[in-house]
C-alpha cells in the first residue's frame, strides 16, 4: 500500500519550486552571441566556433567562490557572489589569451529557496554580460541533509576560444618587459578563511558594523562582498592587437606565487609597491597582525590582473586600457635572475 509520506517532496526535494526557478531564470542569458545554438531548458547547450579565428583552440576553466559564501550567508545578501563565480573563471581563461564564449553554473543547496537562487543566478547572468559570454545552462541541485539550512555552494565552468598563435608562452617574456597592473576591487574571492578570522574573531566585528577606515559608513558586509573585477573587456583588445607577452590573474598565492607561473627560468618580476595604492581592507588586515609575507602570498594587495608587454608596446597598451576606463598603471619590470629560478618580489 502506497504511503503519502514517501514522496520526493516529503524527503526534502521540491520539484515544483525547481520548476518555478527554471521558469524565472530561463531568460537570464548574459551576453547575446551569434554562436549559441541552444540555451537554458534543454538537456545540454550547443554552440559553434566563433567566426574570424584562423586557427582556433578552446580553453576551459572551472572555479568556485570559496568561503566568501559564508559572508553572503551572514549578510543574507546573494546578488554579488554570482559575479565572483564568473570572474574567477573568465579571468583565468583571459590570462591564457582566451575570449570567453559560454559559461555554465552549478548551484547546490539543502533546500531550494527560489528567491535566493534567483538572486544568485541573476548575478551570474549579469556578470556574463560584463564578460561578453553567454550563460548557456547550468544545474540546480537540491540535496536535503547535505548543506546547513540557508547555505549553498557554487561552481562555475567557462569555455573560451583563442588563436593558437596568441597563446602565452613563457619563453616570449624578456628582461626589460613592462608589467602593467589593473586594480582589484578589494579581496576579490581569495583569502577569505584568513580574512574572516581576522575580521570576525580577532577584531570582533559584526557583519553590519562599520568597516574601519571606510568612507560613507560602508559596513563589513559591503567591503567583504565587493565583487571580483571582470577584466575581459579591458584586456581582450590588447590580446587581439598582439601587444601582450604574458598575463597573470592574481588569485590564491597572491603576488608571490602567481607571477612565476608565466616566467621562463632565470627571470623574475619586480613589483614596485609605491606604484599603486592598496585598498583599505588590506591595511586593516595588516594592522590586525597579518605579516607582510603572509599578506603578499595570500591576497592580491590591490592588483587583480597583471599584463606583461614589451617596452615598445607599453604606451599603446596603457592608452587602450585607460580609454576603456581602467586605472591601469606600470607597476613593475621583468628582470634577470641567477640560475634557473623564477620569482616575484615586491620592492
> The whole model's pTM is what?
0.92
Q: Which candidate, 252, 274, 245, places its Cα nearest to that of 66?
A: 252
Q: Which candidate, 185, 272, 270, 165, places its Cα nearest to that of 231?
A: 185
pLDDT at 6 (0 to 100): 42
Could you give the count of Cα atoms lying within 13 Å of 131 in the half-sphere of its Cβ? 36
| CATH of span 170-346 | 3.90.650.10
> Which triple of cell numbers denotes residue 46?
550547443
The domain ranges of the chain are: 15-166, 170-346
| CATH of span 15-166 | 3.30.1330.10
pLDDT in tens, 180-192: 999 999 999 999 9
Could you give the count of Cα atoms lying within 13 Å of 185 in the half-sphere of its Cβ? 16
Question: Residue 156's beta-bridge partner residues?
Answer: 63, 105
- Cell 516529503 belongs to 10
- Spell out, as residue ranges, where the chain has pLDDT lower than 50: 6-7
Could you give the count of Cα atoms lying within 13 Å of 250 in the half-sphere of its Cβ? 28
Could you give the count of Cα atoms lying within 13 Å of 335 in the half-sphere of its Cβ? 13
pLDDT at 26 (0 to 100): 60
E strand or H helix at 75 = helix 68-75
Q: How far is CA 123 from the centre of its chain?
A: 13
Amino acid at each position: 500500500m502506497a504511503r503519502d509520506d514517501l514522496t520526493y517532496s516529503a524527503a526534502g526535494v521540491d520539484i515544483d519550486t525547481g520548476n518555478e526557478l527554471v521558469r524565472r531564470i530561463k531568460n537570464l542569458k548574459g551576453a547575446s552571441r551569434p554562436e549559441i545554438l541552444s540555451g537554458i531548458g534543454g538537456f545540454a547547450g550547443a554552440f559553434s566556433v566563433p567566426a574570424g579565428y584562423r586557427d582556433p583552440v578552446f580553453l576551459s576553466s572551472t572555479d568556485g567562490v570559496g568561503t566568501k559564501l559564508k559572508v553572503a550567508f551572514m549578510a543574507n545578501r546573494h546578488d554579488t557572489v554570482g559575479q565572483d563565480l564568473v570572474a574567477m573563471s573568465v579571468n583565468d581563461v583571459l590570462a591564457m589569451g582566451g575570449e570567453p564564449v559560454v559559461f555554465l553554473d552549478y548551484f547546490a543547496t539543502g533546500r531550494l529557496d527560489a528567491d535566493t537562487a534567483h538572486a544568485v543566478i541573476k548575478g551570474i547572468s549579469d556578470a556574463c554580460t560584463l564578460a561578453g559570454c553567454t550563460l548557456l545552462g547550468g544545474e540546480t541541485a537540491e540535496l536535503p541533509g547535505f548543506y546547513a539550512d540557508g547555505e549553498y555552494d557554487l561552481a562555475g565552468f567557462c569555455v573560451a576560444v583563442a588563436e593558437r598563435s596568441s597563446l602565452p608562452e613563457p619563453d616570449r617574456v624578456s628582461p626589460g618587459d613592462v608589467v602593467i597592473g589593473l586594480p582589484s576591487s578589494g579581496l576579490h574571492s581569495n583569502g577569505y578563511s584568513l580574512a574572516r578570522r581576522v575580521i570576525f574573531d580577532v577584531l570582533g566585528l559584526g557583519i553590519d558594523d562599520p568597516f574601519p577606515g571606510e568612507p560613507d559608513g560602508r559596513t563589513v558586509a559591503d567591503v567583504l562582498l565587493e565583487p571580483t573585477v571582470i577584466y575581459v573587456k579591458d584586456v581582450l583588445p590588447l590580446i587581439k592587437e598582439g601587444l601582450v607577452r604574458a598575463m597573470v590573474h592574481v588569485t590564491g598565492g597572491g603576488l608571490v606565487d602567481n607571477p612565476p607561473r608565466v616566467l621562463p627560468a632565470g627571470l623574475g618580476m619586480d613589483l614596485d609597491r609605491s606604484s599603486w595604492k592598496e585598498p583599505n581592507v588590506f591595511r586593516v588586515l595588516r594592522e590586525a597582525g597579518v605579516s607582510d609575507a603572509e599578506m603578499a602570498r595570500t591576497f592580491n594587495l590591490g592588483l587583480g590582473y597583471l599584463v606583461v608587454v614589451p617596452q615598445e608596446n607599453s604606451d599603446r597598451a596603457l592608452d587602450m586600457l585607460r580609454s576603456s576606463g581602467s586605472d591601469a598603471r606600470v607597476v613593475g619590470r621583468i628582470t634577470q635572475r641567477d640560475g634557473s629560478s623564477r620569482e616575484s618580489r615586491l620592492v
